[in-house]
Structure 1
Amino acid sequence: MQNRSSVGFERTLTRAIEVLDGDGAVVVANPSPMTYGVVARDAHAVNLLKQRPVDQAVAISVHSAPTRQQVFRVLDVQDNKIAVIDFALGERISVLAPIRTGVAVPEWLSPAAQDGWLAFFDGSWAPLASLWHRFPFLYGSSANQTGEAPAASASEARRQFTADTVVVDADHLRTPDAEHGASTMIRVNPAGHLSLHRSGIQDRAAGGPKTLLDRLNETRASSTFTCRPGGQGRA
């Protein structure tokens, strides 16, 4: 028999899917030590919930294999860096990569594209699999209002957003006492050079940006990475 918390979690997850189906935005949990995130099928909905300009660029979650392959086809990066990017996504590291000149960018990628660069991540998490499997991609951003720190718990998310915002509370599956943070974002240039675009929890966990970037540069698909945030697996 399911306990009360698991029943409530499943109900909230079902409600979140309904909101996403209706082109609204919801707040979703990530595994510790990641903070919560805002996702939607409509990029404008992400920005409206965060009370910022509706046309502000967002990132896109490329959690499904077909979506990821379409993204890789428009990138202007060396072939040997695709595996590194793919691995970084598996570590919940966000990526900023250049778009090939002259390539036709699908309209659904446009909200995540700015000045010839594409921002993307993989937000899937197994406890929320029913949500992530329903949508081939979702636009996303950290769960915070401008000027506020990203929410490290469901209660922090509820404090920052309006009372009618659906918050998928999975704190019972997270580590409340851990240091939490938004994702690190790496930048990959056309020559294949990796650099830190935005500091986050992954480079802090690795001991600094240089250590993280060195490990990524040495990465192969079969490598074991030492600063994977959170358990419970991918969706």
Structure 2
Amino acid sequence: MNGAMPGTIGLDGARAVLTAGGPVVVPHPWPLPFGLVGRDPRAVNEAKHRPAQQSVAFWAHRADTRADTGPALALGAAELKLLEELLTQEQLTVLVPVATHRQPPPCLAPATLDGWALLFGGRWQPLDALLDEFPVLYATSANLTGQPPVGTTEEALAAFGGATPVLHLADPPELAAEQRRPGRASTTTVRLHTGGRMTVHRLGIQDAAHPDPDAYLRHLAAQYGGTAG
């Protein structure tokens, strides 16, 4: 099905682009910004106009993929359960320590820098039919380097100028309206340390309603476990 908005593609078009190795701009669940995703981390970085070898988040959007990567992380069972909640319920971007005593799976290599892997887990149900076909994807906010993340289909089209396809879900009308919902911003990035201690690496939309980063971390610890700061 066509994207039903000039310059956009639908799910079939996005599937074809991802299969061919190209990046696509996709909507995320509100209030997250739109994302730039692809199977090839180099292509994702180049579409964003940044160095091709720069680390980029691994989109751990499937339960089986998260289970497969868990043994490569320097986290115990309790911390892995906490990570699951932070990714899927809180929809954060999370920095996690990579175990030094075992070889990590190849999918984590583009997301790993200085012993820490960057994971993202937010997933919007209308994308299920697309995402289930691609267990390994890399993700970043949809913007050119130095520009703010985009929050609507129209902003995505303007930012990328047709150089990168933009997925627009046109039917039912409620989906099209959701993609124009204002008030989006970049995700908060939390660093989850061995032992369950959490620190804020980057401020974002999830912590915005809290008076300071420590208050947000205390909220996370009360909701999901772990320790703040």
TM-score, reference length from structure 2: 0.87
Q: Is 1:147 the equivalent of 2:146?
A: yes
Q: How many Å separate the matches in 2 of 1:47 and 1:156?
A: 19
Q: How many Å separate the matches in 2 of 1:206 and 1:172?
A: 30
| Residues 1-150 of structure 1 mapped to structure 2, 5 A cutoff | 8=4, 12-90=10-88, 91-150=90-149
Specify the alignment match of 2:204 in structure 1.
200
Q: How many Å separate the matches in 1 of 2:40 and 2:74?
A: 26
1:104-123 residue CA offsets vs partner (Å, 9 max, x unmatched): 11112100011110000113
Q: How many Å separate the matches in 2 of 1:174 and 1:59?
A: 25
CA contact (8 A) 1:39 1:140 kept: yes
Q: Give how far 1:87 is off.
A: 0.6
Q: Is 1:181 the equivalent of 2:185?
A: yes
| Count of equivalent residues | 217
1:197-226 residue CA offsets vs partner (Å, 9 max, x unmatched): 1111001134542232112212349xxxxx
Q: How many Å separate the matches in 2 of 1:88 and 1:206?
A: 17
Q: How many Å separate the matches in 2 of 1:12 and 1:179?
A: 24
Structure 2 residue matching 1:85: 3-state secondary structure:
helix
TM-score, reference length from structure 1: 0.85
Q: Is 1:213 the equivalent of 2:217?
A: yes
Q: AA paired with 2:206? A: Q
Change (3 A) 1:75 1:121: same
Q: AA paired with 1:25? A: P
